[in-house]
Amino acid sequence: MSNPSKDPRSDLADHGLHRVLRPASVAVVGASSDPTKRGHQVLVALEEAGYAGEVFPVNPRGGAIRGLPVHASLEELPGTPDLALVCTPAATAPEVVAACGRKGVAGAVILAVGFREAGPEGMDLEARTLAAARAGGVRLVGPNTSGILNLPMGLNLIGARGVRPGSLSLLVQSGNMALALMNEVTRRSADGIALAIGVGNQADLGFAEYLDFLGDDDATRAVVVYVEAFHDGRAFLEVAARVSSTTPVLVVKGGRSGAGKEAARSHTGAVAGEYERLQAGFRQAGIVEVVRTDELLHLAEMLAHQPPVEAGRGVAILSDGGGQGTLAADRFEEAGVLLARPGAATRDGLRALLGSAAAVGNPVDLAGAADADPEVFLRALAILADDPEVGGVVLVGLFGGYGLRFSEELTPGERAAAEAMADLMRDVSKPLVVHSMYAGAASPSLDRLREARVPVVESLEVACRCLEEAWRRGRRPDGPAPSWPPPREDPPSGLVVTATERVEALRTEGRTTLTEPEARELLAAAGATLPPAVLCLDEEAVRHAVTQRTGPLALKVVSSRIPHKTEAGGVALGVEGPEAAVEAYRRITGAARAFLGEGGDPVDGVLVSSMMPPPLAELLVGASRDPDLGPVLTVGAGGIWVEILADVTHRVLPVTRADIETMLDELRIRPLLEGARGRPPAARERIVDEIQAVARCLLAHPALAEVEINPLFVYPDGARAVDARIFLEEEA
């Protein structure tokens, strides 16, 4: 079985959306006798789909449509429908929804366009519609929605025709995408659709609430999501983390190219684009992101019906051609998927079956042995499936086409092999995916595999991606359940008090940027390690500071208006001696004043500290608030080349120490942290401590918008925050 049992935490009969998504009765407001109108087409669709609930056509003209009496208004209905499908123009929505509330209708599906997407007037109309819904206790689907399809109960409010019932549910923000997916499933799969929901503008109900319902729906074995914008991305991720533990969740994100448009006042802001942060959240929540639409159906089938690869086991490639087997091996290695190492008994058995010319490692190449007998595929698969190192298999090549290419006499044996292969892999609970160059042809053998819910794929790359995701699903922490979000860490009480006092003081000054000494104070309270530094307000203070230190010094200008000191000429490094320090003070403060221009705020002094020894590596550590996802952590290669290198990784906060370790492993500069070219490794535990301090600092107070250390110098014995920035949220 591909999925563990559904989470028994809630009975869908008690779910808040039960009457909306499983309505026992439906009112069609704006019912029509005109076949070109949606108010007529939906009545036909409900009848053809076999909807067993009551249907109440509503139209002031009365009469009858398709044998159903038409009621003049919702108030005149003989009963209370669970759901209303609103087919009337957008301008009528507030009053129709208000009438639904007075009648006790649980939900209203608003098809019309002309709301938020149409500009200020539409936004006002949507706000009034939502207000009416909340006043009357009505849940809104849409507006600007394609509708709801619940095929197991015959509820077709989308009007789709010829769609086969099945186990894949769709949660989409595009009517055309929903139609394309439904058509593809019906045309290319033995599976079908359970529920399809058009979320529309999400004026009320959003992706998170729909997914929460689908996660406990027994008919749904996988959920496919097409999203352009979330109403509440963080809520969606938190629901997905629960749902994906039992029901695979696949997401196609539209509008990826619009990421990262915010003004970058910090390096974190420059490298932490909206889409990249969302991708990190997808991974944390156990979501499978799909970029190529040609992968979507096959991945959904694979995850819905094939078991995951058991943790610790690898995948095997069984091919009837060396070239394609090699390409498959390359694809898996590039994706980081473990290739199984068949044992000696497995290799001996394959060699006895296939002869000395066959390759019996991994990939396994049949070397033409199946040309006269396709059932050799079955016998070879049985040997591989019996190997404890093999967790799943991709079949590569001509299977399904032997009867078409060589002789029709081969078709019965090929068909029998197909049936037996599906049964074999089901019995050992190992996933199987079949790549076939004949996937688009009429092949009884491939039809048998599809009927057994084995993905049959024409693209070698897509077939490999299917087994890759089955392998990844088996490697998730603690079985299939993701570890996000972890319990939130309570910050030290002193940090909260310090941050609150500092923020309140800055608010009275109208500032949104902390100076570096102020940022250092908050970060130190959160547990960050910063080298000693002294704030000097004049030349005499600089002279005194120099006499208290040995070796070269660093001088940095202090100003809440200059977050990037180097760009303003506000940094002097390697300064030695009092006179040189005073000259550096004059130079960098003068450059800072020129940078600020006439009328700019005065420079607040300079920060004097001893030069740090050369580090093993420089890191960027930043935490910021995404408007949709909330607090997000960014870690990457630091220093002055942050934007150019763009070697960063992200996580939605909160995170565990293990999460931070994984983030470090994802960086391209990882070898520098592990000790490249004979250098000692960096103190990873101490690096994790510093990263945790940045996250803790942001989480300690909601008015902090961004917290950044760049660079964080890392050494074999520790890590030091060399520069720090903190920004406050703009006041509403």
Task: Tell me, rounded to whole angstroms, the distance of Cα 467 from its chain centroid.
Answer: 19
Residues 171 and 282 reside in one and the same domain = yes
∠ Cα 433 224 87 (to 5°): 145
| Beta strand 390-397 pairing with 359-360 | unpaired
pLDDT in tens, 85-114: 999 999 999 999 999 999 999 999 999 999
| Mean pLDDT across 557-582 | 91
Judged against a pLDDT cut of 90, whether residue 244 lies above it is answered with yes
Range of the domain at 544: 532-610
Please report whether residue 515 resides in a domain.
no
Residues 447 and 466 reside in one and the same domain = yes
Please report whether residue 192 resides in a domain.
yes
Q: Which amino acid is at 669?
A: I
Q: Which amino acid is at 288?
A: V
Domain total for the chain?
Answer: 5
Please report whether residue 25 resides in a domain.
yes
Least confident of 227-241, 299-313, 480-494, 508-522: 480-494
Query: Which residues, other chains included, contact 267 with Cβ-Cβ below 8 Å and sequence gap of 6+?
Result: 620, 622, 638, 642, 643, 708, 710
Please report whether residue 284 resides in a domain.
yes
Domain with residue 538: its CATH number is 3.30.1490.20
User: Which stretches within 570-669 are classed as H helix?
Assistant: 578-596, 642-645, 657-666
Among 515, 525, 472, smallest CA distance to 696 is for 525
pLDDT score for 262: 41
Judged against a pLDDT cut of 80, whether residue 463 lies above it is answered with yes
pLDDT classification of 487: cutoffs 50, 70, 90: low
Please report whether residue 46 resides in a domain.
yes
Residues 172 and 36 reside in one and the same domain = no
Please report whether residue 500 resides in a domain.
no
pLDDT in tens, 598-634: 665 678 899 999 999 999 999 999 999 998 899 999 9
User: Which stretches within 215-273 are classed as H helix?
Assistant: 233-243, 267-271
pLDDT in tens, 209-218: 999 999 999 9
pLDDT in tens, 164-215: 999 999 999 988 888 888 988 888 888 999 999 999 999 999 999 999 999 9
Residues 420 and 548 reside in one and the same domain = no
Residues 185 and 266 reside in one and the same domain = yes
Residues 326 and 466 reside in one and the same domain = yes
Domain with residue 60: its CATH number is 3.40.50.720
Helix-helix angle 207-214:233-243, to 10 degrees: 10
pLDDT in tens, 118-140: 999 999 999 999 999 999 999 99
pLDDT score for 22: 97
Residues 174 and 77 reside in one and the same domain = no
Please report whether residue 522 resides in a domain.
no
Domain with residue 171: its CATH number is 3.40.50.261
Cβ atoms 683, 719 nearer than 8 A: yes
Distance CA 382, CA 518 (A): 67
pLDDT in tens, 409-423: 889 999 999 999 999
pLDDT in tens, 587-597: 999 999 999 88
Residues 290 and 352 reside in one and the same domain = no
Least confident of 231-235, 247-251, 497-501: 497-501
pLDDT classification of 493: cutoffs 50, 70, 90: low
Which of 610, 645, 670 is at the close of a domain? 610
Torsion of CA 223, 228, 234, 236, to 10 degrees: -20
> Mean pLDDT, the chain, as a whole number?
90
Residues 378 and 432 reside in one and the same domain = yes
Judged against a pLDDT cut of 50, whether residue 642 lies above it is answered with yes
| Mean pLDDT across 476-490 | 58
| Mean pLDDT across 36-57 | 96
pTM for this model (two decimals): 0.89
Residues 311 and 180 reside in one and the same domain = no
pLDDT in tens, 410-457: 899 999 999 999 999 999 999 999 999 999 999 999 999 999 999 999
Residues 338 and 434 reside in one and the same domain = yes
Judged against a pLDDT cut of 70, whether residue 272 lies above it is answered with no
Residues 97 and 198 reside in one and the same domain = no
Please report whether residue 315 resides in a domain.
yes
3-state helix vs strand vs coil in the chain, percent to 5: 40, 20, 40
